[in-house]
A and B are shown apart, each in its own frame.
Chain A
């Protein structure tokens, strides 16, 4: 799927100017949101990701454009056939000068026996803004499945002005490396990462925001149930991370951070994409 968002100077609105798509990924249309933005829901019409799926999402947010992307439900990663290749999704995202992208997908739920590799590369130009989170469930908790997936590989590269500011390479293979190790997830089951960037802000501003959001983290944390923390990136942004025993605490917490950061960086309140947080 290839999405392009363009800011129209005439209307001061962002439009979905290009949408090239192929099954199973689908976008129906873009919805206008406040402050001239465009909201798009990403659908996976097969209901989830199957073994051997090879998915691609390319997003280009044009200069001064504002796009909000979300999904319609959690992304289910189904059990892979032993002979099938691991399922794969590659996300390539560009946010151009003074553009803003809020990419707020629902959680990943890796089913027992699933094998999945997700690679996300985000390039930010001068003045570009990014709010992007991902949440990973331990499996289908309601079925008493806990870390029974085979393989979950998550690669993230965020570059600002062509320099890496965040690189993550996670290889979760619960049968080989116990996730309940105190070095990994400990007693917690869910984890999330939330990246907040705006290229060009001074490091002192990020230090102040880290301090403010760290107070939110302290308020939200309850050791043994959920832990939150915030840290600046090497430049141009900061990172919020959480470990939790329950998914509800993560979604409500993410909303708090998003709201606080959006207000601090853009002077506007958040515009939730028709979801309950």
Chain B
């Protein structure tokens, strides 16, 4: 396990970016968990297994996108940056089969970049935003997060881990509203997920560096997201 070095400003910024209170609307999305809970396909008893498998599948995939995006910052050729930036987001969109989850990811990605763009005057960030706006393209949250991590000179692995940590924190928080999951148990679940997060980050990072692909097989979760619009009452947008 490699060491992570932190420059104090970078650490504090990373903590803020990964905070669930970041005002981009992430708390409004369950990514299909609401359907699974309503249809009783997901219960508290299965939650540990579910979250570990979610991190193993979706987490590793998002980690690879996050890492790949991070590495785009080092490109000297701006045209190459634009080409690869667009291709990466198109690929992420094509791998998100459920419309609501895809839209959620794109909404959070756009808001995230806009938020950081308002805080930091960074040419690459401006280029990324302008490129997407010109082509009316989506930017996905994991990709936006990785790009910002690179621009702010946060450690690469730390960026990916922070992304994954905020991802599962959001899911557990959603579960607290959907299932009889108390605060202590929620905290315990998050505490015990650390090895899974690290494994997913390492797999994703390795795949990104080697140009390999990460697979993701979550049909039940995808169905939950695809069936979500038909729920009679919804707490979440997705």
A residues adjacent to B (C-beta < 8 A): 153, 163-172, 177-178, 181-188, 191, 210, 214, 217-218, 221, 223, 227, 229-234, 239, 241-243
Contacts and interface: CB of A to CB of B under 8 A. Distances in A.
B220 A164 contact: no
- Of the listed residues B93, B221, B227, the one surrounded by the most CB atoms of chain A closer than 10 A to its CB is B227
Contacts of B56: 177
B106 to A, nearest CB: 10
Interface of B: 36, 39-42, 46, 49-50, 53-54, 56-57, 90-91, 93-95, 97-100, 102, 138, 213-223, 225-227, 229-230
B53 A177 contact: yes
A127 B108 CA distance: 33
Given A169-B215, A170-B217, A182 B50 contact: yes
B97 A164 contact: no
A163 B39 CA distance: 35
B219 A243 contact: yes
Given A164-B94, A167-B91, A183-B54, A229 B215 contact: no
A192 to B, nearest CB: 9
Contacts of B138: 234
B99 A232 contact: yes
Contacts of A184: 53, 57, 217-220
Contacts of A242: 223
A234 B218 contact: no
B94 A166 contact: yes
Contacts of B217: 170-172, 177, 184
Contact of B94 (A185, A231, A234): A234
B49 A181 contact: yes
A231 B50 contact: no
Nearest to A230: B226
Contacts of A181: 46, 49-50, 53, 220
Given A229-B226, A241-B223, A182 B36 contact: yes
A169 to B, nearest CB: 4
Contact of A182 (B49, B91, B93, B213): B49
B68 to A, nearest CB: 14
A146 to B, nearest CB: 16
Given A168-B97, A169-B216, A218-B230, A241 B41 contact: no
Which 4 pairs between the two chains have the least Cβ-Cβ distance? A229-B226, A169-B215, A171-B215, A164-B94
A177 B219 CA distance: 14
Given A169-B213, A183-B53, A185-B219, A231 B46 contact: no
Contacts, number: 107
A197 to B, nearest CB: 13
Contacts of B54: 183
Contacts of B218: 183-184
A152 to B, nearest CB: 10
Contacts of B221: 183
Given A218-B230, A241-B226, A185 B220 contact: yes
Given A166-B97, A170-B217, 14 more contacts: A177-B56, A181-B49, A182-B42, A182-B46, A183-B53, A185-B220, A214-B229, A214-B230, A217-B227, A227-B227, A229-B98, A231-B98, A234-B138, A241-B222
B174 to A, nearest CB: 14
B226 A231 contact: yes
11 contacts: A168-B95, A170-B217, A177-B53, A182-B46, A183-B49, A183-B54, A183-B57, A184-B217, A231-B226, A232-B99, A234-B94
Nearest to A171: B215
A153 B53 CA distance: 18
Nearest to A221: B227
Contacts of A163: 90
A50 B212 CA distance: 27
- Of the listed residues B42, B56, B219, B221, the one surrounded by the most CB atoms of chain A closer than 10 A to its CB is B219
Nearest to B38: A223
Nearest to A166: B94
Contacts of A165: 94
A183 B39 contact: no
B100 to A, nearest CB: 8
A232 B97 CA distance: 8
B228 to A, nearest CB: 9
A153 B218 CA distance: 14
A242 B223 CA distance: 8
Contacts of A210: 99
Contacts of B225: 231
A123 to B, nearest CB: 13
Contacts of A153: 215
